[in-house]
Amino acid sequence: MPEAPKSNYTLPLLLSLFLALGLYFGGLLSHGFSNNTEKAADVQKLEDILDLLENRYVDKVDKDRVFEETISEMLHKLDPHSNYIASKDMAAVNESIEGEFGGIGVRFLLLRDTICITNIIGGSPSEMAGVKAGDKIIEIEGKSVVGKKITNEKVMQKLKGLAGTKVKFKVIRGKKYKLFSLQRGAIPLETITCAYMLNATTGYILIDQFSVPTARDFNIAASRLKEMGMTKLVLDLRNNGGGVLTAATDIADEFLKEGLIMLKTKGRKSGEQIYKSNSGGLLENTKTVVLINAYSASASEILAGALQDNDRAIIVGRRSFGKGLVQEDRLLRDGSNLRITIARYYTPSGRCIQRPYNGKYEDYMVDEERFSNNELYVQDKRLLADSLKFKTLKGRFVYGGGGIQPDVFVPFDSSGTSFYLTSLQFSGAFTAFSFDYVSAKRNVWKDAKSFNEQFIVDEILSRKFINFAAIDFKVALNEKEYQHSRNNIAKILKAEIARQIWTEEGFYRTINPLDNELNTALKELK
């Protein structure tokens, strides 16, 4: 009799077993161990089961992998944001928190199986050594890095390392080869994606995430814009998934007069903690609009909620994600990390904006109900019920029940969208074509302002792009959908070309004038 495929039976059985174990130990976490003897017996039981599976189970068991998956399943039965982080993933986690990593200071993309440098970070080892945008890395430490086996992860593994360590790599520039030997430096993660003036009086700051240096970098950006004449601000928190809580409260403090509540946290063991503003905020008199959407979460919601409840900003966009739980990191003996929820946070008006959770992690993260309720286009009136009302400092009504509700709802702009456009975006064709295009024209435009005013993506260039996408990225042309989306295609292509030359600020300077939510924010600031 032929052997049944292992993938059909083995994994589900193991996962079922370990899920049951997870539920069991989840219950122990919820109610606590009665004494050390009971704790020791339960731990020993788990070890006995793991040993039996490893030694006697019909198929080979990756005990470590299944055990780690079990821990995550166990934690997700308690709440959606408690999590287990394996030791191998801790370096990346620490980088996002600390806001820097050891590296050479380049941005790159993989194009035709080659590492293509798109931008050089200012002040980095690469800039000081003369590495240039457009260079293509072909060797690292004497070994070829050209070919289909190379991945983004492998490139970063080779180029990143402890600050002070050295790395050698060879590039091709035009038809010439250049060898570089660099000492890695501390490279900042740029959480302030861009900051510039939208007009003579209105500044724009986009925060990508919240790490330790974010508040400092925000102050630098805001101070620079104030020197340029900023009296009004659009603060863009769309797609910002959060990060370090104190970075959010430190930024909120810059908008608020002394002694105002920014945030409360309450936990069974951690007690109640109240965060209040200090005196001397940089932006206390700056009229502000905050942009949010369904992917604005955690620290983004803390900042938006603090400004909304204290009547310091108008919130524009769509309901935020709804993460109102505070986590604490605990390092385990093997270098892994337990990120466990220790408190709920409440906005100044008393709102806990955590969304309801039924124990189904995947459903919670996808939040299909939001889409089934057509919330992209119409504000969900059920979340504006009297039972969910709270009052701001000046008596305006705001709403709890899950996420930050905007003061001004802006429906998602679906005009010009199509499956063909989505396919182009996910394929990477825009970035690749822009890199090739800019390689020969990098020094043609003086600045992003003149580029925006003078450069036009005409039909000839658009056709070159879609032919490129069809040949190099296998995105077959759909003429009907192309005609429907041609304006959006031209808009995105122009912005991506600008990004290749002036990084993120170039992209947003180009794309923002056509952004409905941003234009609504500007109307609110008049």
Residues assigned a catalytic role: 298, 323, 327
Structure tokens at 238: 């769309």
Give, in order, the Cα–Cα distances in Å from 519 to each of 288, 449, 493, 505. 14, 18, 21, 18
CA separation for the pair 272, 397 (Å, rounded): 25
CA atoms within 13 A on the CB side of 181: 1
Place of tokens 């938006």: 304
Cα end-to-end span (Å), the chain? 78
Cα 327 to Cα 84: distance, rounded to the nearest angstrom: 12
List the structure tokens of 424.
């182009």
Around Cβ 509, how many Cβ atoms within 10 Å? Answer: 22
Which pair of tokens denotes residue 132? 């240039």
Q: How many Å apart are CA 227 and CA 346, to the nearest integer?
A: 35
Using alpha carbons, list the distances in angstroms from residue 201 to 183, 198, 285: 42, 8, 13
Compute the 3-state secondary structure of the chain and give helix, strand, coil in percent, each to the nearest 5. Answer: 45, 20, 35
Determine how many CB atoms are found less than 10 A away from the CB of residue 405: 24
Looking from the CA of 292 toward its CB, the CA atoms found within 13 Å total: 33
What's the CA dihedral at 36, 14, 63, 49 to 10 degrees? Answer: 40
CA angle 496, 500, 504 (to 5 degrees): 75
Angle between helices 36-56 and 63-78 (to 10 degrees): 140
Tell which residue, 496, 510, 505, 507, has the closest CA to residue 109: 496
Dmax over Cα atoms in the chain, in whole Å? 81
What tokens does 104 get?
């050479």
DSSP code, position 48: H
Query: CA separation (Å) from 504 to 118, 139, 319, 442, 515?
Result: 12, 28, 25, 16, 16
Tokens 């980095």 correspond to: 124
Contact 297, 240 (CB under 8 A): yes
315-349 as b/e: b if 16+ CB within 10 A? bbbbbbbbbbbbbeeeeeeeebbbebbebbbbbbb
